[in-house]
Structure 1
């Protein structure tokens, strides 16, 4: 049925749902009476405020802060993975910075092909580029965990192409995180650990708000300390006659655990604010933002005795390099909004965000520094064992001016929105200490530095060689965009919505994207909907300017691999062109069905075609060909990799979500089922260089990761039962099979698994509750890698390495306390 929205409810939806209590929320008691309806009002997918999720033209998930907390997850990214079927948050290990900022994806696409908003405003991306063998390799997505769960009122996930509405990156959809804004607050604390006795978590969070007729202020403080987990098995390399890097057995020839395979240490601090002030009866000033810092500790690959990388005077039994990281994140948004004549609204805002990612090595050494000749016939025999390796910095400043309202056309209303956006993205690489990257103290390649075995000494500290001054960069680019967004009821049952957006980037140029959505209400309980959309994603400044020389594995051997910046002249020597934007075409068709008993069902099928997808190549060596080998030699590289527009993909899928409230054992029972089926195929691989064959620039290992690296099926079946002071949550989470072949070159499948989560909460008083629970209560692990993983399974990788959607920690149990005030 057609909804005629008043000026009051339009303003209420903007101010109360998106930002918090405001002057407009005081104008009517009727509009605020139904809090359940307010919870279901969406702010995504339509600029007609006041619509509920089941009235939208696109599929939208609404996940409340209470639902996120009930998952038992302490991190926002993990809680979303357990709540939204199309959201994936893969676990990584021994993957440098990706161990701390995990790749978050929607509908099986890349981490940078989904747009993240906070309070409806574009959020900045992370500085870190995923360059290891992980999901989202070659991308720089969003640090979802930089936002504390304690600050989140709810999360909306728009599962539809929305670049025409919201701009670059919104190919897979949009995630909007709405901050808390209410009066009162809460204090929560959690302690827990894995069944194995590691991975201890201690977390406390405080949220407090105060609201008056003149505005509101709400702040959040949170602290979380997460201990490391290790599921590495004893290394048996010598027993099978193989060696990876030196001798891994102990002095008695027995297998011992040499690796750290699991979650990294992580210590997190958060401070967030959300506020609004009524300047007068028609205008409101608002501000929100936050600060977070995360110190992480992970490990590299073990260096054993007898290898040129191991200085036995320092490490007689070998050593495991440690990577200490620091992820700092800051953001602030300031805006003003108000009324215009004829029930129109305006909103002007400026949002600034910054993400810093620093690398530090410990328990390591620079071999060339140690064995460098001292000029007196000997060697210096000294090297620092720790160093600052450098820092990545991403900054973004966005200005928006938006208008929305209605125009009378005959007896119907045309809902109209328009606006413009200016944005500046900047990227910097700050170099590390000289010992982290240099060849000896002078970095003079003409000096011959040899290890005792006679092998050449390698430059840089081990584990994560630092960024040198030659890789330093400080660059930015500007963009602007304009859009028009309209909705109109052709009949009381037939809604048509459309959007057109033009964006222009300094480097990538201009793009026009469009979207057309239709919704037809067959009756008051059954509707069909569909969308046709084009989209785009401009290359990130991280992909344009990132460069690094680091330790990587090529055909089972560790070599120095150069990631050549796309804007570098060296890239042109290899025939690599400047990056262009990705473009997409998508189509979706869905239905919405409601029953009188409260059962709601939505089902949406979709297809997303992406052309010129930006990827990072495999590390390419001299075996590519003589011309390629000559360019490598001229630039002192053993291998090189590049960001290129090399892949076209097609993703098809279906999302089915149902909810049913009922009664059981004299209590209320809310049942939810969410199922997602997704399939991605690489339709074409195109080499942009005449020196590099297509099958080399993006080989089968990379193709397989895109096609099978994320679960093709994902489902959650959950029930929440409440009676008096008791609440019981039960969730069954299904992760489909995944495949990979990185490192070994042998294709391997990890089978589908069911995980079960359960929690029981009791209200000791009306304000104080306690909850105990277990995630993965049956202690389910991925399949063991076995002989298919040789030699890495012999090194200690019991459960694989590359594509493990739910991780390798096994069961986790916890206790949580919550006090409301």
Structure 2
């Protein structure tokens, strides 16, 4: 297998003929039906000019090849990107409900929903799941990056620049485009691996196959991946809910702190067909199914949440989730007179996330008084908790071409977009959410336990661990939007490129917005260039943020409290004076340089600043201590705490990205060296109160501010070396994750220090078609700092490393073997 040296941030391509697919770099061949000639279609993310390469762009762009993704040893696309692009973060979560399966993916330290994800240049639909636990991206619903199998990916392009004026809402931090394979032939790959602790077993099989026909091509991918759970909980010397010690009084492990179980199946395709001349019909998409298993907090003996006739030694509630994802894009593109090009497409996407509880109980169901006397004395131990559904349909029509201005070509692109976003919350089984069989709060359901005053304790509604969605949370709503843009590029002189874009978008709920962008690039000579951009952007509130609501058990002030997430259009939100959501707006500026040296050494340096106003966040869980009127409303609605989505925060993010590459020779082999560094700092400049009843400091307190400012690494770096000689290939990468801080659950500010992780692998080509690779990620078994006594009582109960924010997880070392056969 021949491996070309990879240069992060640069793409060199030979263009037989260039053809625009709206706004993105596409590399796939079609066939001219009349001439039989191949039409190779390559343009670059961030520019709509035919054939513009990344080295000619006025914005920083990373190009990550399929080989580089595979060489990370990661079997998940999100993890592979985190190990390849320092500006991309993919935090690990645990005991965080659905976020354990769909992890938050971020760019340049912003939220998961402030980056736009495309597939083959078309907008990808977001996930249905909202991150409502104390994790990175709390309050957002981003993109399920792992719904796309690595086996299907040809390359990933990351535009590190504000691009809402070019691509629309969400592109505040930048744009990630995932290009699917389209080539002839295929591959069969298999990987097995596990952690040094002998858990977290991964078994992956992927098949990719491509075929070119007289008038087109078809490429398909099938992939299966099974990932076992990991557990890094320590024996519980203290208890959080009831008695956690063994019957003999010894500390035992009571929690599951680590990766969730995950079984994944994928089927994807990419296809094109010539309709005659240069007109092409194209389609791509896929389905994925993911079954996950995670856990909540242990319920111990001698506590009102534990029914000892069912669980005499306590129980650990299980959450079984199912994420189903479908997408299909169909389009036609071709030529117009005077060398103009057109493209029309429809993209449909749907993400469903279902919740199921097991190894649990509804205490109100069990202790409910029986009409014949006594109590019912029974409860199901498993239930369907409900389902979240997000659907999106997008229509695009784009044209682009050139006009002659002052004897120079003005490159123009124009387009319109129509989009409908829909959101559903489907009700769970009654036992998952109800207070007794009739859900009648006037019925007094008491447990056998008493409080400190000797009064009987009432039973809690719903199944434990993850109470289901009830009738009050059911929603089926949608929102329409439309947009129009113009994009232009012009060489003022042969060395000076000027580019600009304007985009108007209107949402039938969130209102309208005009975004603009101006970019420039000046080539001082063939080896040294300067570039910069200024832009405005926006992000409309997601329908998930507008309509999501739930009542769940959360940790507030160190105790478990029934916490309601209230949709802003709910009458309860209006009682608290909460305003409806509005769009976020942003202003971005970046400056950078590109320098090439005669020995092949290349370096790019880009600095940026992003100001975001009215940023949408999920508030702190608010309790009765907010004020007397607030407490009365809580009591009237039988709630212990509430939280809301609000436009409460203004932030400023500054950063610096440095990327360098150097190809050379070593020991009669080819050595490619790459170094990349991302420095980022976010400051919360203002917290806005959105209610006359609630102070800004209560809505978004120090805990939430700290997570925004310090929850993601402020420094992230990668140094990698890829050496190839004949049949041998060696890859070594050193990844640095800077310090992170948090104080959720304990209220005590804690810093987890920065760490270097080392990945290494060796590959050997047994034949031209068969390659075997063995390797280890986190070779030296590095873990985050331990929580220690600062985390009490959680550290005493088994949280050795905490769980709020960990960029590289708590699994330790992982080793693997991979076989790849190409045909």
SS in 2 for 1:562: strand
Aligned: 1:435 with 2:449: no
Task: Give matches, 1:15-30, under 5 Å.
Answer: 18=26, 20-23=28-31
2:414 to 394, 413, 418: 418
Q: Would you say the 8 A contact 2:152–2:268 is kept in 1?
A: yes
Aligned: 1:135 with 2:136: yes
- Determine the C-alpha separation between the residues in 2 that align with 1:100 and 1:493: 48
Equivalent position of 2:775 in the other structure: 773
Deviation at 1:381, TM superposition (A): 0.6
Q: Evaluate the alpha carbon distance shift between residue 515 and residue 381 of structure 1 in structure 2; reply closer, same or farther with a 3 A threshold.
A: same
Deviation at 1:18, TM superposition (A): 1.3
SS in 1 for 2:18: helix
TM-score by length of 2: 0.96
- Determine the C-alpha separation between the residues in 1 that align with 2:228 and 2:598: 48
Deviation at 1:16, TM superposition (A): 12
Task: Give matches, 1:85-96, under 5 Å.
Answer: 85-96=86-97
Deviation string for 1:592-635 (max 9, x for gaps)? 01112211110000000000000000110010001111111121
Q: Would you say the 8 A contact 2:127–2:351 is kept in 1?
A: yes
Deviation string for 1:204-230 (max 9, x for gaps)? 000000013300000000000000000
- Determine the C-alpha separation between the residues in 2 that align with 1:471 and 1:6: 55
SS in 2 for 1:629: helix
SS in 2 for 1:9: coil
1:318 to 314, 320, 327: 314
Deviation at 1:519, TM superposition (A): 0.2
Deviation string for 1:637-666 (max 9, x for gaps)? 111000000000000000000111000000
SS in 2 for 1:131: coil
Aligned: 1:46 with 2:42: no
- Determine the C-alpha separation between the residues in 2 that align with 1:146 and 1:341: 40
- Determine the C-alpha separation between the residues in 2 that align with 1:105 and 1:600: 27
Deviation string for 1:331-387 (max 9, x for gaps)? 000000001111111000000000000000000000000011112221111000000
Aligned: 1:341 with 2:341: no
Equivalent position of 2:505 in the other structure: 503
Q: Would you say the 8 A contact 2:96–2:135 is kept in 1?
A: yes
Task: Give matches, 1:68-87, under 5 Å.
Answer: 68-87=69-88
1:810 to 783, 792, 812: 812
2:265 to 263, 269, 291: 269
Q: Evaluate the alpha carbon distance shift between residue 134 and residue 16 of structure 1 in structure 2; reply closer, same or farther with a 3 A threshold.
A: closer
Aligned: 1:381 with 2:377: yes
- Determine the C-alpha separation between the residues in 2 that align with 1:19 and 1:751: 41
Task: Give matches, 1:632-647, under 5 Å.
Answer: 632-647=634-649
Deviation at 1:12, TM superposition (A): 7.8
- Determine the C-alpha separation between the residues in 1 that align with 2:24 and 2:461: 57
TM-score by length of 1: 0.97
Q: Evaluate the alpha carbon distance shift between residue 648 and residue 12 of structure 1 in structure 2; reply closer, same or farther with a 3 A threshold.
A: closer
- Determine the C-alpha separation between the residues in 2 that align with 1:27 and 1:395: 41
Task: Give matches, 1:259-658, under 5 Å.
Answer: 259-453=255-449, 454-658=456-660
Equivalent position of 1:147 in the other structure: 148
Deviation string for 1:388-430 (max 9, x for gaps)? 0000000000000000111111321000000000000000000
Once the two structures are overlaid, the 10-residue window that deviates more, 345-354 or 18-27, is 18-27
- Determine the C-alpha separation between the residues in 2 that align with 1:501 and 1:11: 23
Q: Would you say the 8 A contact 1:13–1:50 is kept in 2?
A: no
Equivalent position of 1:198 in the other structure: 199
Deviation at 1:27, TM superposition (A): 6.8
SS in 1 for 2:126: coil
- Determine the C-alpha separation between the residues in 1 that align with 2:277 and 2:357: 56
- Determine the C-alpha separation between the residues in 1 that align with 2:635 and 2:43: 57
Deviation string for 1:782-818 (max 9, x for gaps)? 0000001000001100011101100000000000000
Could you list the structure 1 runs, at least 4 aligned residues long, displaced by more than 2 angstroms after superposition.
5-10, 12-17, 23-32
Q: Would you say the 8 A contact 1:555–1:744 is kept in 2?
A: yes
Deviation at 1:9, TM superposition (A): 2.9
Q: Evaluate the alpha carbon distance shift between residue 539 and residue 30 of structure 1 in structure 2; reply closer, same or farther with a 3 A threshold.
A: closer
- Determine the C-alpha separation between the residues in 2 that align with 1:73 and 1:7: 32
- Determine the C-alpha separation between the residues in 1 that align with 2:21 and 2:366: 65
Aligned: 1:731 with 2:733: yes
Equivalent position of 1:659 in the other structure: 661
Deviation at 1:24, TM superposition (A): 5.4
Q: Would you say the 8 A contact 1:780–1:810 is kept in 2?
A: yes
Q: Evaluate the alpha carbon distance shift between residue 208 and residue 640 of structure 1 in structure 2; reply closer, same or farther with a 3 A threshold.
A: same
SS in 1 for 2:257: coil
- Determine the C-alpha separation between the residues in 2 that align with 1:42 and 1:201: 37
Aligned: 1:160 with 2:161: yes
Equivalent position of 1:211 in the other structure: 212
- Determine the C-alpha separation between the residues in 2 that align with 1:455 and 1:49: 70
- Determine the C-alpha separation between the residues in 1 that align with 2:388 and 2:761: 40
Deviation at 1:578, TM superposition (A): 0.5
- Determine the C-alpha separation between the residues in 2 that align with 1:570 and 1:16: 44
- Determine the C-alpha separation between the residues in 2 that align with 1:215 and 1:579: 46
Deviation at 1:182, TM superposition (A): 0.3
Superposed CA RMSD in Å reads: 1.6
- Determine the C-alpha separation between the residues in 2 that align with 1:153 and 1:24: 23
Equivalent position of 2:18 in the other structure: 10
Q: Would you say the 8 A contact 2:358–2:382 is kept in 1?
A: yes
Unaligned runs of 5+ in 2: 1-12, 450-455
SS in 2 for 1:373: coil
- Determine the C-alpha separation between the residues in 1 that align with 2:331 and 2:379: 52
Equivalent position of 1:229 in the other structure: 230
Aligned: 1:251 with 2:252: no
Deviation at 1:28, TM superposition (A): 10
- Determine the C-alpha separation between the residues in 1 that align with 2:17 and 2:220: 26
- Determine the C-alpha separation between the residues in 2 that align with 1:445 and 1:62: 58
Q: Would you say the 8 A contact 2:30–2:39 is kept in 1?
A: no
How many residues align? The count is: 805
SS in 2 for 1:623: helix
